[in-house]
Amino acid sequence: MPVRDAEAADVEEICALIEEHARYEGNEELVLDRADMARHLFGPDPKAWVLMAESGGEVAGMAFCSWNFSTWEARPGIWLDDIFVRPAFRRHGLGRELLNELRKRTSGRVEWDMQEGNERAAAFYADLGAEPVPGWIRYRWRPDLA
């Protein structure tokens, strides 16, 4: 199967995929601390988890996730923070495989954000049966890093 759970040995690839995604989205400066990422994913108190997609023995993409909980549904769900398939591996069903695996892992919601104007992604998500959430605006409160 081309989708599997990430292991500690995958930290370099996970960070590389995130950095490649940042470059694809126009962020030329993002460089992740591999040790921090390893601690947050595979340390004694993990904060997130990753699914890896492979094709022909190569890492082709990933889905970076964490658990959430819906009080109104009284069940856990999955927050998909990042999904990325390397351009050479697109249009082979790997994004669909990653999302289908997430769907199997919860009886709750699978949710994510998408940048406005990304029509190809919107069409892909609609084809899966996913819908935008009307009437909700996402807010972000960042720590003061000064």
Spot the catalytic one: 67, 79, 112, 125.
Answer: 125
Element (H, E) at 111: strand 110-112
Structure-token pair, residue 29: 């400066």
Do 140 and 107 form a contact (C-beta atoms < 8 A)?
Answer: no
Q: Is 125 considered catalytic here?
A: yes
Give 10: exposed, middle or buried? Use CB within 10 Å, 0-12, 13-18, 19+.
buried
**Three-state SS at 78:** strand
61: Cβ contacts below 8 Å, ≥ 6 apart: 17, 52, 53, 83, 84, 85, 86, 89, 94, 95, 98
Beta bridge partners of 82: 64
Tell me which residues are annotated as active site. 125
